[in-house]
Structure 1
Amino acid sequence: MRPISSQKIIEEIRSVEIFKQIDPAIFKLLIEKSHVSAYRDGHALFFSGDECLHLQIIISGGVQLHFASQEGAEVIFSEMQSGDVLGEVEMTLDCRHSFNAVVCGKTRLLEIDRKTFRELAKVPQISSFLIRAVARKLHQTTAFAEGMALYPLETRLARLLLSLGAAHGRSVHGGILIEKAISQSRMGQLINASRPRINAQLQAWKSEQLIGISQHKIVIMNKRSLEIISRRSDAIC
């Protein structure tokens, strides 16, 4: 494993939110004990059942986590971004991956092998970071399971649009433009629904002026109504 020597890459790592407040000595130790790998869009990082070889922290780009059936059906349960972590649960429990991970766009990952992970996990500031990473992933997975088990399509879709609006939205005349283009098929994978059902619900909301569609991108026109449909606790007041 070659040490990270590029000052540009070190600055890129330092710019990630989770590393901004870390003690300089701890950050230096982390850099010395890890390496950076670059991946292209669509690269499969690992599959369910694979051995977990590295702890991976996303520096830039993104990674989709999904379950796949033997028949080939896929459900995306998390879209990870800069600062998110892969492998912390598997490393801690010494178990194999239980889902698939695929790179989205050009992505850089800070990678730490199993032996180094065990050394770094003894450092309080790093162990605290790992605990937060596990808690964040548990929260995301619980929310996903709740939506799949309890809520109808319109609620799951409203939550997805609000989430996309929060992460990729920009205020425009008439509402919030979701700048990230996303196909109806991809929406279906994210909320476990067929494309025809997604299309029917979007068209219904369009006719009710809850949303608009501009150049294949969605505009949230009535955020309050979507919040009520989403059944989010902070929307009921």
Structure 2
Amino acid sequence: MDIKKYVALIKATDLFKDIPYEELLTRFTFDSYSISNYKKSSIIHFEGEKCLFLDIILEGHVIIQRIDENGNALTIVDFHSGDSIGGNLLFSKYPYYPMTIMAKTATKILHVKKSLVLELCQLNSTFLIEYLSSISDKTAILTNKIKVISLKSIRDSIIDFLKYESFLQNTTNIKLNITKKELAERLGLQRTSLSRELKKMKNDGLVDFNANYISIIDETIIK
């Protein structure tokens, strides 16, 4: 694919923002990158697959999931346009994806070869700083998410979600923009466990809910 069609999208990312247009055209030779389109719900990288590229999301929404032997999925983190994937693995001695990476929506990804990433790190200090920052941030995100999942009770996880959404939506009547299944995956729960705990919270007079909303009845839980 002709890189010229995508330069505007590439320069909109933090990694490439400081690299001039003409230099991008020069660096992105036909054998240094590829661009792939992924349909909604398709697998981008399987767990255990070797990381060969730095992936830049040009368009779309990507999720990283941990799928157990029973097929239960735990959504660890979401990435969107401008985010990069694989930077922490590309130069690792064990460069294999520890989790499954899936397209949440139709997604377009720029795959940058290791040789070009190394070249850009050596030639452009802003790229190097942003690359290192990205690696650090993603490591912190993954560590914190795993820590939260391992320590919190089901009710605590639900309440944290309600606190966050109540703040964002500025209401105690929380509109669910995702399905109950997706919410369970985000919280690291089985859907049945989520439903069971919501019913207990309803019986305790803390919340009320239907398919589209969770209403906070006892506002002390989000204080």
Equivalent residues of 1:77, 1:141 under 8 A apart:
yes
Unaligned runs of 5+ in 2: none
The 1-side partners of 2:57 and 2:74 are apart by 21
What residue number does 2:191 align with?
195
* Amino acid of the structure 1 residue aligned with 2:49: D
Aligned length: 215
CA apart distance, 1:55: 0.6
For the pair 1:181 / 2:178, whether they are aligned, the reply is: yes
SS in 1 for 2:4: coil
Cα gap change, 1:66 to 1:124, in 2 (>3 Å): same
Between 1 and 2, higher relative CO (CA 8 Å, sep ≥ 6) is seen in: 2
* Partner deviation per Cα, 1:156-183 (whole Å, 9 max, x = no partner): 22334455667xx5457x64534x2222
The 2-side partners of 1:209 and 1:143 are apart by 27
For the pair 1:10 / 2:7, whether they are aligned, the reply is: yes
What residue number does 1:23 align with?
18
Greater mean alpha carbon deviation, residues 82-91 or residues 216-225: 216-225
CA apart distance, 1:30: 4.3
Greater helix content: 1
Equivalent residues of 2:18, 2:127 under 8 A apart:
no
What residue number does 2:144 align with?
143
* Partner deviation per Cα, 1:29-58 (whole Å, 9 max, x = no partner): 446424432211011111121111211122
What residue number does 2:213 align with?
218
The 2-side partners of 1:219 and 1:57 are apart by 35
TM-score using structure 1 length = 0.75
TM-score using structure 2 length = 0.79
* Partner deviation per Cα, 1:123-173 (whole Å, 9 max, x = no partner): 21111111221122122112212212221111222334455667xx5457x
* Partner deviation per Cα, 1:79-108 (whole Å, 9 max, x = no partner): 222222211011121411111111111112
Equivalent residues of 2:63, 2:77 under 8 A apart:
yes
The 2-side partners of 1:46 and 1:78 are apart by 15
The 1-side partners of 2:189 and 2:145 are apart by 13
Name the % identity.
15
The 1-side partners of 2:81 and 2:52 are apart by 20
Cα gap change, 1:211 to 1:189, in 2 (>3 Å): same
SS in 2 for 1:92: coil
SS in 2 for 1:66: strand
The 2-side partners of 1:209 and 1:40 are apart by 40
* Partner deviation per Cα, 1:179-235 (whole Å, 9 max, x = no partner): x2222x22222333222221133344456465654xx3335657964545xxxxxxx
CA apart distance, 1:72: 2.8
What residue number does 1:235 align with?
none
